[in-house]
Amino acid sequence: MPVIVIANPKGGVGKSTFSTNLAGYFAAQGHKVMLGDADTQQSSRTWLSLRPENLRPISAWEITDGHIVKPPKGTTHIVIDTPAGLKGSKLDALLKLADKVIVPLQPSIFDILATEEFLKKLRSHEARVDVGVIGMRVNARTRAADQLAHYVVQLGLPVLGYLRDTQNYIQLAAHGATLWDVAPSKAEKDIAQWDEVLKWIEG
């Protein structure tokens, strides 16, 4: 079963936005998806509590006494959202579970510099997991996108794509929904931006 970890030690880069929508994509494909939340704030789990029953189901982690027990029975795909400040043994444990790691990254120089050491660690980690970067809240046809790509490529990592800054993510999240839970015409431009990253994940 594929395990996709969404990680960046910097907060506010869009990890939960990406995680919830990726889980929504897998659910839309008919998979039995678990959205795990390694953050003590449990933002993704809170989002799941908002999800209407008429939408395709996404399961949460089964947790006992604060410890992860197991994915729900029948789970075929796992997406793990992670907290800011992720490092040390907790990071190592997640990397051993992961098939792929996606690092959401905004194109500001502050975000880039704050994430540099983390990306270098992922490249050198003994788990040798596949790592890709997704540009968040950025237009692919801007200098900011070029700057982000130049930096990431220098580290030997792929830029999987760019997700634009749009109210769709904010408005859908408020209702426990994702791009794949609404009529395609309402999210067509945003869904198109996921094509390359989904190919990489499923490849």
At how many degrees (to 10) do helices 143-154 and 109-124 cross? 30
Quick one: pLDDT at residue 123? Answer: 86
pTM above 0.85, yes or no: yes
Q: Are 28 and 154 in contact (CB under 8 A)?
A: no
CATH code of 171's domain: 3.40.50.300
Most confidently modeled of 28-32, 34-38, 88-92, 107-111?
Answer: 28-32
Question: What are the pLDDT digits (tens) for 153-192?
Answer: 888 899 999 999 999 999 999 999 999 999 999 999 999 9
- Among 103, 105, 161, 163, residue whose Cα is nearest residue 130: 103
Give yes or no for residue 40 having a pLDDT over 80. Answer: no
CA–CA dist 135, 139 (Å, integer): 9
State which residues form the domain around 163.
3-202
CA–CA dist 182, 108 (Å, integer): 31
CA–CA dist 163, 182 (Å, integer): 18
Residues 126-162, buried b or exposed e (16+ Cβ, 10 A)?
A: eeebbbbbbbbbbebeeebbeebbebbeeeebbbbbb
Residues 27-40, buried b or exposed e (16+ Cβ, 10 A)?
A: beeebbbbbbbbbe
Domain total in the chain: 1
Strands 130-136 and 100-105, bridge-based pairing: parallel
Over residues 104-117, mean pLDDT: 90
Task: Using pLDDT thresholds of 50, 70 and 90, give the confidence band for residue 87.
Answer: confident
DSSP H helical segments within the chain, as ranges?
Answer: 15-28, 43-50, 88-97, 109-124, 143-154, 167-173, 184-192, 195-202
